[in-house]
Amino acid sequence: RRARAADQGRRRAAGPGSGAGSGPSGSSGAGHSGRRRAKPRKSARPPALLWTAVGVGAALVAGGIVLLSGHGSGPGITTVDVGNAGAATLSATGPTNLLLIGTGEGAGAGTGSSTAGGAAGQGRAADVVLVHLAADRSNATALDIPANLVTSIPDCPTGKGPSGVPGSARQQTSPTVADSLGGGRDPGCTMRLIAQLTGLKVDHFLLADSAALKSLATAVGGLDGCLTEVARAGQAPAQPNRISAQEQFLAGLVRTAGSGGSGGAAAGGRPAALARTASTALTMDTPLGSVAALSGLGAQFGKVDPKHFTFTTLPVKDNPADAGHRTVTADQGRATQLLTLIKNDVSLSQPPAGPDPKLVGPRATAHNTRVLVYNGTGVFGASQDVLAWLQNDEHADRTTNGGDAPARAARTTLKYAPNQADQARSLAAMMDLPASALIPGTVNAAPRANMTLTLGADYTAPGAPIAPPTTPPKGLAMMTADSSSCGT
Protein backbone atom coordinates (compact mmCIF):
# COMPACT_ATOMS: atom_id res chain seq x y z
CA ARG A 1 0.00 0.00 0.00
CA ARG A 2 2.74 2.43 0.95
CA ALA A 3 4.72 1.67 -2.21
CA ARG A 4 1.69 2.38 -4.38
CA ALA A 5 0.96 5.54 -2.38
CA ALA A 6 4.49 6.76 -2.83
CA ASP A 7 4.26 6.21 -6.57
CA GLN A 8 1.04 8.17 -6.75
CA GLY A 9 2.47 10.85 -4.49
CA ARG A 10 5.34 11.47 -6.89
CA ARG A 11 2.83 12.47 -9.52
CA ARG A 12 1.12 14.93 -7.20
CA ALA A 13 3.76 16.38 -4.93
CA ALA A 14 7.20 17.89 -5.13
CA GLY A 15 10.20 16.73 -3.11
CA PRO A 16 11.86 18.64 -0.25
CA GLY A 17 11.95 22.28 -1.20
CA SER A 18 12.73 22.12 -4.89
CA GLY A 19 16.00 20.39 -4.57
CA ALA A 20 16.84 17.77 -1.93
CA GLY A 21 14.71 15.27 -3.73
CA SER A 22 14.85 16.85 -7.15
CA GLY A 23 17.43 14.52 -8.60
CA PRO A 24 17.32 10.80 -9.32
CA SER A 25 17.08 8.68 -6.22
CA GLY A 26 20.16 6.70 -7.20
CA SER A 27 21.15 3.53 -5.43
CA SER A 28 23.21 2.84 -2.35
CA GLY A 29 26.80 1.77 -2.54
CA ALA A 30 25.77 -1.68 -1.31
CA GLY A 31 23.87 -2.19 -4.50
CA HIS A 32 27.09 -2.04 -6.54
CA SER A 33 28.93 -4.95 -4.96
CA GLY A 34 29.97 -6.19 -8.40
CA ARG A 35 31.50 -2.88 -9.42
CA ARG A 36 34.99 -1.86 -8.53
CA ARG A 37 35.31 1.32 -6.56
CA ALA A 38 37.81 3.89 -7.69
CA LYS A 39 40.93 4.12 -5.55
CA PRO A 40 40.48 6.97 -3.06
CA ARG A 41 42.37 10.08 -4.05
CA LYS A 42 44.31 11.89 -1.37
CA SER A 43 43.10 15.36 -0.68
CA ALA A 44 45.61 18.13 -1.23
CA ARG A 45 43.53 20.67 0.63
CA PRO A 46 43.71 21.02 4.43
CA PRO A 47 40.93 18.91 5.98
CA ALA A 48 37.79 20.00 7.72
CA LEU A 49 37.77 23.45 6.22
CA LEU A 50 34.18 23.97 7.12
CA TRP A 51 34.73 23.46 10.75
CA THR A 52 36.59 26.71 11.11
CA ALA A 53 33.25 28.40 10.48
CA VAL A 54 31.38 25.73 12.34
CA GLY A 55 33.72 26.11 15.26
CA VAL A 56 32.65 29.72 15.60
CA GLY A 57 29.07 28.49 15.44
CA ALA A 58 29.99 26.17 18.29
CA ALA A 59 31.47 29.07 20.19
CA LEU A 60 28.21 30.92 19.65
CA VAL A 61 26.36 28.02 21.17
CA ALA A 62 28.66 28.14 24.16
CA GLY A 63 28.10 31.85 24.50
CA GLY A 64 31.71 32.77 23.74
CA ILE A 65 31.10 35.49 21.19
CA VAL A 66 28.49 37.08 23.39
CA LEU A 67 31.55 38.42 25.18
CA LEU A 68 32.86 40.06 22.01
CA SER A 69 31.30 43.31 23.15
CA GLY A 70 33.63 43.30 26.14
CA HIS A 71 36.79 42.68 24.13
CA GLY A 72 36.50 44.99 21.15
CA SER A 73 35.96 44.07 17.51
CA GLY A 74 39.52 43.13 16.61
CA PRO A 75 41.30 44.34 13.47
CA GLY A 76 38.16 44.19 11.38
CA ILE A 77 35.30 42.01 10.22
CA THR A 78 34.99 41.07 6.54
CA THR A 79 31.46 41.11 5.13
CA VAL A 80 29.71 40.32 1.85
CA ASP A 81 26.44 41.90 0.76
CA VAL A 82 24.27 38.97 -0.39
CA GLY A 83 21.17 41.04 -1.10
CA ASN A 84 17.88 39.23 -0.66
CA ALA A 85 19.55 35.83 -0.41
CA GLY A 86 19.51 36.29 3.37
CA ALA A 87 17.71 38.21 6.09
CA ALA A 88 18.01 41.99 6.19
CA THR A 89 18.58 42.00 9.95
CA LEU A 90 19.31 39.58 12.76
CA SER A 91 16.06 38.51 14.40
CA ALA A 92 15.71 37.38 18.00
CA THR A 93 12.39 35.66 17.31
CA GLY A 94 11.36 32.80 15.09
CA PRO A 95 13.62 30.08 13.67
CA THR A 96 17.09 31.04 12.45
CA ASN A 97 19.09 29.28 9.73
CA LEU A 98 22.84 29.92 9.66
CA LEU A 99 24.91 28.57 6.75
CA LEU A 100 28.50 27.61 7.51
CA ILE A 101 30.83 27.39 4.51
CA GLY A 102 34.41 26.18 4.39
CA THR A 103 36.60 26.87 1.37
CA GLY A 104 39.71 25.20 0.02
CA GLU A 105 41.70 28.43 0.05
CA GLY A 106 44.32 29.20 2.65
CA ALA A 107 43.78 32.92 2.27
CA GLY A 108 41.18 35.29 1.03
CA ALA A 109 38.16 34.61 3.17
CA GLY A 110 38.10 36.41 6.45
CA THR A 111 41.42 38.16 5.95
CA GLY A 112 40.22 41.35 4.36
CA SER A 113 41.51 40.15 0.97
CA SER A 114 39.74 41.10 -2.21
CA THR A 115 39.18 37.42 -2.93
CA ALA A 116 36.43 37.17 -0.37
CA GLY A 117 32.96 37.02 -1.81
CA GLY A 118 33.51 34.99 -4.94
CA ALA A 119 36.06 37.00 -6.88
CA ALA A 120 39.03 35.41 -8.59
CA GLY A 121 40.90 33.17 -6.22
CA GLN A 122 37.87 32.28 -4.06
CA GLY A 123 37.79 28.59 -3.22
CA ARG A 124 34.85 26.33 -3.90
CA ALA A 125 32.38 25.35 -1.18
CA ALA A 126 34.43 22.44 0.12
CA ASP A 127 32.22 21.95 3.18
CA VAL A 128 28.69 23.16 3.84
CA VAL A 129 26.60 22.88 7.02
CA LEU A 130 23.18 24.40 7.66
CA VAL A 131 22.56 25.13 11.34
CA HIS A 132 18.86 25.41 12.22
CA LEU A 133 17.91 27.08 15.49
CA ALA A 134 14.37 26.26 16.64
CA ALA A 135 12.01 29.18 17.19
CA ASP A 136 11.74 28.47 20.92
CA ARG A 137 15.52 27.90 21.21
CA SER A 138 14.90 24.46 22.71
CA ASN A 139 17.07 22.68 20.14
CA ALA A 140 19.36 23.15 17.16
CA THR A 141 20.38 20.90 14.28
CA ALA A 142 23.61 21.11 12.27
CA LEU A 143 22.94 19.48 8.90
CA ASP A 144 26.03 18.55 6.91
CA ILE A 145 25.25 18.82 3.18
CA PRO A 146 27.77 16.82 1.10
CA ALA A 147 29.72 19.07 -1.25
CA ASN A 148 29.67 16.33 -3.91
CA LEU A 149 25.86 16.23 -4.04
CA VAL A 150 24.73 16.63 -7.66
CA THR A 151 22.17 19.41 -8.05
CA SER A 152 21.08 22.26 -10.27
CA ILE A 153 22.35 25.70 -9.26
CA PRO A 154 19.97 28.68 -9.41
CA ASP A 155 20.71 32.02 -11.02
CA CYS A 156 22.66 34.27 -8.71
CA PRO A 157 22.52 38.09 -8.80
CA THR A 158 25.89 38.86 -7.24
CA GLY A 159 25.96 42.59 -7.87
CA LYS A 160 29.08 42.16 -10.03
CA GLY A 161 27.20 42.69 -13.27
CA PRO A 162 23.78 43.57 -14.66
CA SER A 163 22.57 39.96 -14.55
CA GLY A 164 24.90 38.28 -12.08
CA VAL A 165 25.95 34.67 -12.64
CA PRO A 166 23.54 32.39 -14.53
CA GLY A 167 22.51 29.12 -12.99
CA SER A 168 23.61 25.67 -14.11
CA ALA A 169 21.21 22.90 -15.09
CA ARG A 170 21.69 19.53 -13.50
CA GLN A 171 23.55 16.93 -15.54
CA GLN A 172 24.39 13.34 -14.62
CA THR A 173 27.44 14.12 -12.52
CA SER A 174 27.51 17.92 -12.31
CA PRO A 175 27.22 20.55 -11.05
CA THR A 176 27.59 19.86 -7.33
CA VAL A 177 27.05 21.84 -4.16
CA ALA A 178 30.77 22.71 -4.22
CA ASP A 179 30.26 24.60 -7.49
CA SER A 180 27.90 27.09 -5.84
CA LEU A 181 30.91 29.14 -4.69
CA GLY A 182 33.79 30.48 -6.78
CA GLY A 183 33.93 31.23 -10.47
CA GLY A 184 32.17 34.52 -9.84
CA ARG A 185 29.63 33.06 -7.41
CA ASP A 186 29.64 34.53 -3.90
CA PRO A 187 28.34 33.03 -0.63
CA GLY A 188 24.89 34.39 -1.47
CA CYS A 189 24.81 31.92 -4.36
CA THR A 190 25.46 29.07 -1.93
CA MET A 191 22.72 30.42 0.33
CA ARG A 192 20.26 30.38 -2.58
CA LEU A 193 21.24 26.84 -3.51
CA ILE A 194 20.82 25.52 0.04
CA ALA A 195 17.40 27.20 0.27
CA GLN A 196 16.48 25.44 -2.98
CA LEU A 197 17.75 22.09 -1.75
CA THR A 198 16.17 22.13 1.69
CA GLY A 199 13.15 24.40 1.45
CA LEU A 200 14.56 26.35 4.41
CA LYS A 201 15.18 30.08 4.04
CA VAL A 202 18.83 30.77 4.88
CA ASP A 203 19.18 33.87 7.05
CA HIS A 204 22.93 34.36 7.45
CA PHE A 205 26.28 32.81 6.57
CA LEU A 206 29.75 32.44 8.05
CA LEU A 207 32.64 31.52 5.74
CA ALA A 208 36.18 30.54 6.68
CA ASP A 209 39.36 29.39 4.98
CA SER A 210 41.59 26.52 6.03
CA ALA A 211 44.18 28.60 7.87
CA ALA A 212 41.73 29.55 10.61
CA LEU A 213 40.88 26.02 11.79
CA LYS A 214 43.95 25.51 13.91
CA SER A 215 43.95 29.06 15.28
CA LEU A 216 40.35 28.63 16.38
CA ALA A 217 41.08 25.31 18.05
CA THR A 218 44.03 26.93 19.82
CA ALA A 219 41.88 29.85 20.96
CA VAL A 220 39.32 27.47 22.45
CA GLY A 221 41.90 24.98 23.74
CA GLY A 222 41.70 21.30 24.66
CA LEU A 223 40.92 19.83 21.24
CA ASP A 224 44.21 18.35 20.06
CA GLY A 225 42.85 14.79 19.95
CA CYS A 226 39.80 15.78 17.94
CA LEU A 227 41.90 17.86 15.56
CA THR A 228 44.18 14.87 14.91
CA GLU A 229 41.18 12.76 13.93
CA VAL A 230 39.92 15.54 11.65
CA ALA A 231 43.29 15.64 9.92
CA ARG A 232 43.10 11.91 9.32
CA ALA A 233 39.58 12.21 7.93
CA GLY A 234 40.75 14.81 5.42
CA GLN A 235 42.92 12.20 3.69
CA ALA A 236 40.03 9.82 3.01
CA PRO A 237 36.87 10.17 0.94
CA ALA A 238 33.73 11.10 2.85
CA GLN A 239 31.47 8.20 3.72
CA PRO A 240 27.78 9.06 3.24
CA ASN A 241 25.36 8.74 6.13
CA ARG A 242 28.02 8.49 8.82
CA ILE A 243 28.97 10.94 11.54
CA SER A 244 32.22 12.52 10.34
CA ALA A 245 35.29 13.42 12.34
CA GLN A 246 34.46 17.04 11.52
CA GLU A 247 31.13 16.75 13.28
CA GLN A 248 32.82 15.17 16.28
CA PHE A 249 35.32 18.03 16.28
CA LEU A 250 32.46 20.52 16.29
CA ALA A 251 30.85 18.76 19.23
CA GLY A 252 34.20 19.00 21.01
CA LEU A 253 34.30 22.74 20.35
CA VAL A 254 30.87 23.18 21.86
CA ARG A 255 31.85 21.27 24.99
CA THR A 256 35.27 22.84 25.41
CA ALA A 257 34.26 26.44 24.75
CA GLY A 258 31.50 26.09 27.28
CA SER A 259 33.34 24.19 29.99
CA GLY A 260 36.75 25.83 30.10
CA GLY A 261 38.72 23.18 28.21
CA SER A 262 42.36 22.45 28.81
CA GLY A 263 45.45 23.96 27.26
CA GLY A 264 45.34 26.83 24.76
CA ALA A 265 43.99 30.04 26.12
CA ALA A 266 43.57 30.19 29.84
CA ALA A 267 40.03 30.07 31.09
CA GLY A 268 39.99 33.76 31.82
CA GLY A 269 41.45 34.73 28.45
CA ARG A 270 39.52 32.33 26.22
CA PRO A 271 36.62 34.64 25.31
CA ALA A 272 39.02 37.40 24.33
CA ALA A 273 41.21 35.04 22.28
CA LEU A 274 38.13 33.55 20.65
CA ALA A 275 36.77 36.99 19.85
CA ARG A 276 40.03 38.08 18.22
CA THR A 277 40.25 34.85 16.22
CA ALA A 278 36.64 35.06 15.07
CA SER A 279 36.97 38.62 13.84
CA THR A 280 39.99 37.77 11.66
CA ALA A 281 39.06 34.25 10.56
CA LEU A 282 35.56 34.77 9.24
CA THR A 283 33.68 36.36 6.39
CA MET A 284 29.97 36.91 7.00
CA ASP A 285 26.90 38.58 5.54
CA THR A 286 26.55 42.31 6.15
CA PRO A 287 23.80 42.11 8.82
CA LEU A 288 26.13 39.95 10.96
CA GLY A 289 29.15 42.20 10.51
CA SER A 290 29.09 44.03 13.82
CA VAL A 291 29.86 43.30 17.44
CA ALA A 292 26.22 43.87 18.36
CA ALA A 293 24.95 41.40 15.74
CA LEU A 294 27.48 38.72 16.66
CA SER A 295 26.64 39.21 20.32
CA GLY A 296 22.95 38.86 19.51
CA LEU A 297 23.56 35.71 17.50
CA GLY A 298 25.68 34.34 20.32
CA ALA A 299 22.92 35.05 22.84
CA GLN A 300 20.40 33.12 20.72
CA PHE A 301 22.61 30.06 20.24
CA GLY A 302 23.69 30.21 23.87
CA LYS A 303 20.13 29.29 24.89
CA VAL A 304 20.44 25.78 23.40
CA ASP A 305 21.38 22.97 25.78
CA PRO A 306 24.34 21.06 24.21
CA LYS A 307 22.48 17.78 24.67
CA HIS A 308 19.84 19.09 22.28
CA PHE A 309 22.31 20.43 19.69
CA THR A 310 22.39 17.59 17.15
CA PHE A 311 24.78 16.96 14.27
CA THR A 312 23.80 14.85 11.30
CA THR A 313 24.17 14.57 7.51
CA LEU A 314 21.62 14.90 4.71
CA PRO A 315 20.82 11.32 3.60
CA VAL A 316 22.39 10.60 0.21
CA LYS A 317 23.01 7.67 -2.12
CA ASP A 318 25.79 6.71 -4.45
CA ASN A 319 25.21 8.34 -7.85
CA PRO A 320 24.44 5.48 -10.29
CA ALA A 321 25.42 7.70 -13.24
CA ASP A 322 28.92 8.22 -11.87
CA ALA A 323 31.20 5.28 -12.64
CA GLY A 324 33.95 6.86 -10.60
CA HIS A 325 31.81 7.09 -7.46
CA ARG A 326 32.82 10.71 -6.91
CA THR A 327 29.31 12.15 -6.56
CA VAL A 328 26.12 11.38 -4.68
CA THR A 329 22.40 12.07 -5.06
CA ALA A 330 19.81 12.76 -2.38
CA ASP A 331 18.06 9.79 -0.77
CA GLN A 332 14.73 11.47 -1.42
CA GLY A 333 12.46 9.67 1.02
CA ARG A 334 14.83 9.86 3.98
CA ALA A 335 15.93 13.40 3.12
CA THR A 336 12.31 14.57 2.97
CA GLN A 337 11.58 13.01 6.36
CA LEU A 338 14.61 14.65 7.97
CA LEU A 339 14.02 18.08 6.43
CA THR A 340 10.37 18.01 7.52
CA LEU A 341 11.47 17.45 11.11
CA ILE A 342 13.91 20.34 10.91
CA LYS A 343 11.36 22.68 9.33
CA ASN A 344 8.92 21.83 12.12
CA ASP A 345 11.53 22.54 14.84
CA VAL A 346 11.44 18.91 16.01
CA SER A 347 14.42 18.02 18.16
CA LEU A 348 16.41 15.07 16.81
CA SER A 349 17.74 14.33 20.30
CA GLN A 350 14.44 14.03 22.15
CA PRO A 351 11.99 11.13 21.87
CA PRO A 352 8.57 12.11 20.50
CA ALA A 353 5.81 12.82 22.98
CA GLY A 354 3.21 10.16 23.71
CA PRO A 355 0.14 9.78 21.49
CA ASP A 356 -2.47 12.51 21.60
CA PRO A 357 -5.56 11.55 23.66
CA LYS A 358 -7.74 12.04 20.57
CA LEU A 359 -5.96 9.09 18.95
CA VAL A 360 -6.20 6.80 21.98
CA GLY A 361 -9.22 4.55 22.52
CA PRO A 362 -11.39 1.96 20.79
CA ARG A 363 -11.78 2.08 17.03
CA ALA A 364 -14.79 1.33 14.89
CA THR A 365 -14.54 -1.35 12.24
CA ALA A 366 -13.83 -0.18 8.71
CA HIS A 367 -17.36 -1.20 7.67
CA ASN A 368 -18.86 0.97 10.41
CA THR A 369 -16.71 4.02 9.59
CA ARG A 370 -18.86 6.54 7.74
CA VAL A 371 -17.27 9.61 6.17
CA LEU A 372 -18.14 12.19 3.54
CA VAL A 373 -15.02 13.25 1.60
CA TYR A 374 -14.63 16.78 0.22
CA ASN A 375 -11.85 17.88 -2.12
CA GLY A 376 -10.18 21.07 -0.90
CA THR A 377 -6.86 20.43 -2.65
CA GLY A 378 -7.56 22.08 -5.96
CA VAL A 379 -6.39 18.88 -7.67
CA PHE A 380 -9.10 17.35 -9.85
CA GLY A 381 -10.42 13.98 -8.68
CA ALA A 382 -8.71 13.86 -5.27
CA SER A 383 -11.88 13.05 -3.33
CA GLN A 384 -12.80 10.28 -5.79
CA ASP A 385 -9.30 8.81 -5.48
CA VAL A 386 -9.62 8.71 -1.69
CA LEU A 387 -13.13 7.24 -1.94
CA ALA A 388 -11.89 4.40 -4.15
CA TRP A 389 -8.91 3.74 -1.92
CA LEU A 390 -10.93 3.70 1.30
CA GLN A 391 -13.57 1.39 -0.17
CA ASN A 392 -11.29 -0.99 -2.05
CA ASP A 393 -8.12 -1.06 0.01
CA GLU A 394 -9.32 -0.23 3.51
CA HIS A 395 -12.83 -1.78 3.19
CA ALA A 396 -14.50 1.38 4.48
CA ASP A 397 -17.39 0.75 2.12
CA ARG A 398 -19.65 3.42 3.62
CA THR A 399 -17.48 6.26 2.36
CA THR A 400 -19.22 8.95 0.27
CA ASN A 401 -17.80 11.47 -2.21
CA GLY A 402 -18.84 15.03 -1.42
CA GLY A 403 -17.09 16.55 -4.45
CA ASP A 404 -15.33 19.89 -4.26
CA ALA A 405 -15.15 21.76 -0.96
CA PRO A 406 -16.55 25.33 -0.91
CA ALA A 407 -12.96 26.65 -0.87
CA ARG A 408 -9.43 25.32 -0.94
CA ALA A 409 -8.11 24.09 2.39
CA ALA A 410 -4.59 24.64 3.67
CA ARG A 411 -4.65 21.36 5.59
CA THR A 412 -6.69 18.20 5.85
CA THR A 413 -9.33 18.11 8.60
CA LEU A 414 -11.79 15.55 9.96
CA LYS A 415 -14.84 16.88 11.78
CA TYR A 416 -16.84 14.46 13.91
CA ALA A 417 -19.33 14.28 16.77
CA PRO A 418 -18.49 12.96 20.26
CA ASN A 419 -20.32 9.70 19.53
CA GLN A 420 -18.22 9.25 16.35
CA ALA A 421 -14.86 9.35 18.13
CA ASP A 422 -14.27 5.62 17.55
CA GLN A 423 -14.86 6.15 13.81
CA ALA A 424 -12.53 9.17 13.80
CA ARG A 425 -9.75 7.12 15.40
CA SER A 426 -10.32 4.38 12.83
CA LEU A 427 -10.08 6.77 9.87
CA ALA A 428 -7.06 8.53 11.40
CA ALA A 429 -5.26 5.18 11.58
CA MET A 430 -6.12 4.35 7.97
CA MET A 431 -4.91 7.69 6.64
CA ASP A 432 -2.14 8.47 9.15
CA LEU A 433 -3.91 11.67 10.13
CA PRO A 434 -2.22 13.78 12.81
CA ALA A 435 -4.18 14.58 15.95
CA SER A 436 -4.25 18.22 14.86
CA ALA A 437 -6.43 17.21 11.89
CA LEU A 438 -9.17 15.83 14.17
CA ILE A 439 -11.78 18.43 15.11
CA PRO A 440 -14.36 17.06 17.56
CA GLY A 441 -17.78 18.64 17.91
CA THR A 442 -19.86 19.08 21.04
CA VAL A 443 -23.21 17.57 19.99
CA ASN A 444 -23.79 13.91 19.23
CA ALA A 445 -24.68 13.00 15.64
CA ALA A 446 -27.74 11.11 14.47
CA PRO A 447 -27.38 7.37 13.83
CA ARG A 448 -25.63 6.58 10.53
CA ALA A 449 -24.55 10.22 10.07
CA ASN A 450 -21.30 10.87 8.25
CA MET A 451 -18.15 12.47 9.57
CA THR A 452 -16.74 15.17 7.29
CA LEU A 453 -13.26 14.78 5.82
CA THR A 454 -11.88 17.74 3.85
CA LEU A 455 -8.68 17.08 1.91
CA GLY A 456 -6.23 19.98 2.10
CA ALA A 457 -2.96 21.06 0.55
CA ASP A 458 -1.05 18.58 2.74
CA TYR A 459 -2.73 15.66 0.94
CA THR A 460 -0.52 14.05 -1.71
CA ALA A 461 -2.02 10.65 -2.62
CA PRO A 462 -4.39 7.97 -1.29
CA GLY A 463 -2.60 6.07 1.46
CA ALA A 464 0.29 8.52 1.72
CA PRO A 465 0.67 9.62 5.36
CA ILE A 466 -0.70 13.07 6.04
CA ALA A 467 0.80 13.27 9.50
CA PRO A 468 4.22 14.92 9.52
CA PRO A 469 7.05 12.65 10.72
CA THR A 470 7.92 12.71 14.41
CA THR A 471 11.12 10.65 14.36
CA PRO A 472 14.33 10.77 12.27
CA PRO A 473 14.80 8.36 9.35
CA LYS A 474 15.74 4.86 10.40
CA GLY A 475 19.49 4.38 10.61
CA LEU A 476 20.33 8.10 10.51
CA ALA A 477 23.73 8.72 12.11
CA MET A 478 23.58 11.49 14.69
CA MET A 479 25.49 12.85 17.64
CA THR A 480 24.90 15.65 20.11
CA ALA A 481 27.21 18.38 21.36
CA ASP A 482 27.52 16.75 24.77
CA SER A 483 29.07 13.63 23.23
CA SER A 484 32.58 12.91 24.50
CA SER A 485 33.77 11.03 21.41
CA CYS A 486 36.44 12.41 19.09
CA GLY A 487 37.29 9.19 17.24
CA THR A 488 35.86 8.06 13.91
Instruction: Examine the domain organization and report whether 272 and 395 are in the same domain.
Output: no
Instruction: Examine the domain organization and report whether 324 and 441 are in the same domain.
Output: no
Query: Residue 317: which H helix or E strand, with range?
Result: strand 316-318
Q: Is residue 488 part of a domain?
A: no
Instruction: Examine the domain organization and report whether 113 and 230 are in the same domain.
Output: yes
Q: Is residue 11 part of a domain?
A: no
Instruction: Examine the domain organization and report whether 206 and 318 are in the same domain.
Output: yes
| 3-class DSSP assignment, residue 55 | helix
Instruction: Examine the domain organization and report whether 299 and 246 are in the same domain.
Output: yes
Query: Quick one: which of 234, 217, 232, 209 has its CA closest to 102?
Result: 209
The percent of residues above 90 in pLDDT, for the chain, comes to: 44
Instruction: Examine the domain organization and report whether 305 and 361 are in the same domain.
Output: no
Instruction: Examine the domain organization and report whether 310 and 414 are in the same domain.
Output: no
Read off φ and ψ for residue 440, nearest 5 degrees: -80, 145
Q: Please state the domain count of the chain.
A: 2
Q: Is residue 25 part of a domain?
A: no
Instruction: Examine the domain organization and report whether 410 and 438 are in the same domain.
Output: yes
CATH code assigned at 364? 3.30.70
Instruction: Examine the domain organization and report whether 421 and 332 are in the same domain.
Output: no
Range of the domain at 380: 357-455
Instruction: Examine the domain organization and report whether 288 and 371 are in the same domain.
Output: no
pLDDT tens string 147-180:
999 999 999 987 555 678 999 999 999 999 999 9
Buried b (16+ CB within 10 A) or exposed e, 275-309: bbbbbbbbbbbbbbbbbebbbbbbebbbebbbebb
Q: What is the pLDDT along the chain (488 residues), one digit of tens a residue?
A: 444 444 444 444 444 444 433 333 333 333 343 444 444 343 333 333 334 334 444 434 333 333 333 344 444 678 999 999 999 999 988 999 999 888 765 433 333 333 333 333 457 888 888 999 999 999 999 898 999 999 999 999 875 556 789 999 999 999 999 999 998 899 999 999 999 999 999 999 988 766 665 565 566 555 545 555 554 554 444 455 444 555 555 555 555 554 444 443 334 455 555 555 666 667 889 998 887 787 778 778 778 888 898 888 999 999 999 999 999 999 988 998 999 999 999 999 987 778 889 999 999 999 999 999 999 999 999 999 999 999 999 999 999 999 999 999 999 999 999 999 999 999 999 998 999 999 999 999 999 999 999 999 999 999 888 888 888 988 898 888 776 555 43
Q: Is residue 26 part of a domain?
A: no
Instruction: Examine the domain organization and report whether 260 and 336 are in the same domain.
Output: yes
Instruction: Examine the domain organization and report whether 139 and 179 are in the same domain.
Output: yes
